[in-house]
Amino acid sequence: MRARIVYLLACLMVCSLGSYAQEKAIVVIEHADSLRAGTRPGDPNRFIGNAMFSHKDMRMTCDSLYQYPDSNFIYAYGRVHAVQNDTINMWGDYLFYNGNTEVAKVRHNVVLQDPQLTLTTDSLNYDAFNRVGHYFNGGTIRDSVNTLVSDIGYYYLPINEMFYKDNVEVYTPDYTLYSDTLKYQTQTKVITILGPTNIIGDNRTLYSEYGWYNSITSHAELYKNNTLTYNNYIGSSDTLVVDSVSGTAIMRQHIHLYDTINKAIVEGNYGEVLRDNDYAFVTERAMLILVGQSDSLFMHADTLSISKDSLENNVMKAYYGARFYSLDLQGVCDSIVYPVADSTIYLYRQPVVWASGNQLTGTTIDMHMVDNEVDKFNMRNKAMIVSMVDSTMYKLTPDQRGVLFNQVKGRDMTGYVRDNQLYLMYVDGSGESAYYPDDNGIIIGLNKATSSNIKIELENKKIKDITFINDVEGTLNPLFMVTPEDGKLRDFQWHIEKKPLKKEDIFLKTPQTTVTQDSVPPVMPERQRPQRR
């Protein structure tokens, strides 16, 4: 009976508002255990015990509520519980509700729950008309997949989207995100990155300032200031696509990969990094930079790749149309293999190397590296070193200029480098030479000789002396009796048109010559023939 009286009194109060009630929906107090009416004008009416009110599609219960005369405001205290459309629930210790604007301000121990998620916070403003929740003093959101924490958040229920700002943390099954600003679609579980964000997980860290991540499929696409850190690799690109299920990262445009251990940089415009088999490749204007202490080696090929050998050591490869350049070392070939643990770069298929201005050729050439700088060459099978006689140093006739070459050839040849300068070479087996010795700056003739082993000394990028070690045979003819053709050893070739003269020349196509069978390298394994995705 007491509750019935309270309800009738509330109805009388509502009716007293007259025509105002015809224009706006009035908060209706439906139940309370007792009523304490205000004793002075302007004092609130207090509804005590199991209080309940309703407004449009909103219903609320609490321990007690206050209502001021001639107002459409409600102040609720103690075990506040509000329900909208039987789907959205709010709990808190205190609530202020404005019936005119349909805005509820809930404070202390606040929980907002809908079929998609649960939000907990200390302070929440909820726009019941637009169904938008806003917290500003820190909040945590949990759903069936993710947990999200931020200082500020907005929940737009009609479109199932949440907007987070400041100190945002997201915990997903595969990653943890730390962000400045992001958006979350509560149905699709897609996280949209709108500001500086770090995504951390499984020895891999991603940074981006714009993109999205699907926490169901573990697929991410990043489009602004992207950086990938994985083990000892640091990478960046205009577009970064990461699929955690397949373990693949795809990079597009302005790729920059840095191997911090081996001091190697890989650049290009399309690349993939495969986590499961530790394999990566880059193509489309691909370039490898080996950073040395005094100089860097720039290398280009159609495709550059990094993989692991059976001992989990890195193996770098450059294949189809490889070219490289540094101040004192240039070269061209078809394919290059660099097992980093071996510290040796292997050149295959018509390799030509220019070291300190001298042309080196052989069926295969390998270069031993120390701190990413060459200290030794090995030229295998049909090894040959050629250097042009400098016409600016000697008095040559017009017919002799640019056509006289010092040459040494043999079965195999080893060269040594000091301070980036080739200074010593040894010929091992079947040695031959065609050499123009000089006397006080005057060429005295052509010395052609054979020896099973030959020692070649170089100074200032030129052949200084040739020593024939054993089984020596040779002749010295005056220069006037020598034609340019007389001075060319068998298999002589001058490949100056192939030589990169500056760093940008590595991207030029090398002129092709006839390929012999013994100069063809092993076929690349199938998994290292990348297919663009």
Question: Which CATH number characterizes residue 373's domain?
Answer: 2.60.450.10
Report whether pLDDT(240) > 90.
yes
Instruction: For 34-81, write each residue's pLDDT tens digit.
Output: 998 877 887 888 999 999 999 999 999 999 999 988 889 999 999 999
175 pLDDT tier (thresholds 50, 70, 90): confident
Report whether pLDDT(197) > 90.
yes
Range of the domain at 472: 342-518
Which residues on adjacent β-strands are paired with residue 111? Answer: 91, 120
Q: Whole-model pTM?
A: 0.78
276 pLDDT tier (thresholds 50, 70, 90): low
pLDDT for 20? 36
Structure tokens at 337: 């293999």
DSSP classification of residue 311: T
**506 belongs to a structural domain:** yes
Mean pLDDT, residues 118-122? 96
User: What's at 449, amino acid-wise?
Assistant: A
Tell me how far CA of residue 450 lies from CA of 97, 417, 447, 481, in angstroms.
105, 25, 10, 20
Tell me how far CA of residue 124 lies from CA of 91, 95, 109, 119, 163, in angstroms.
10, 9, 10, 10, 14
**295 belongs to a structural domain:** no
User: pLDDT over 70 for what percent of the chain?
Assistant: 89
**402 belongs to a structural domain:** yes
**159 belongs to a structural domain:** no
Report whether pLDDT(302) > 60.
yes
Report whether pLDDT(527) > 60.
no
pLDDT for 18? 34
DSSP 191-242: EEE-S-EEEEETTEEEEESEEEEETTTTEEEEEESEEEEETTEEEEESEEEE
Report whether pLDDT(518) > 80.
no
Mean pLDDT of the chain: 86
Q: Is the dihedral of CA 413, 414, 417, 418 positive or negative?
A: negative
pLDDT for 513? 66
Instruction: For 332-363, write each residue's pLDDT tens digit.
Output: 999 999 998 889 999 999 999 999 889 999 99
**133 belongs to a structural domain:** no
**71 belongs to a structural domain:** no
Report whether pLDDT(281) > 70.
yes
**111 belongs to a structural domain:** no
Mean pLDDT, residues 180-209? 91
- How far is 311 from 348, CA to CA, in rounded Å? 23
Report whether pLDDT(440) > 90.
no
178, containing H or E segment: strand 176-185
- How far is 74 from 65, CA to CA, in rounded Å? 7
**78 belongs to a structural domain:** no
483 pLDDT tier (thresholds 50, 70, 90): confident
User: pLDDT over 90 for what percent of the chain?
Assistant: 57
Please state the domain count of the chain. Answer: 1
- How far is 330 from 357, CA to CA, in rounded Å? 9
530 pLDDT tier (thresholds 50, 70, 90): low
Mean pLDDT, residues 485-504? 92
DSSP SS3 for 3: helix
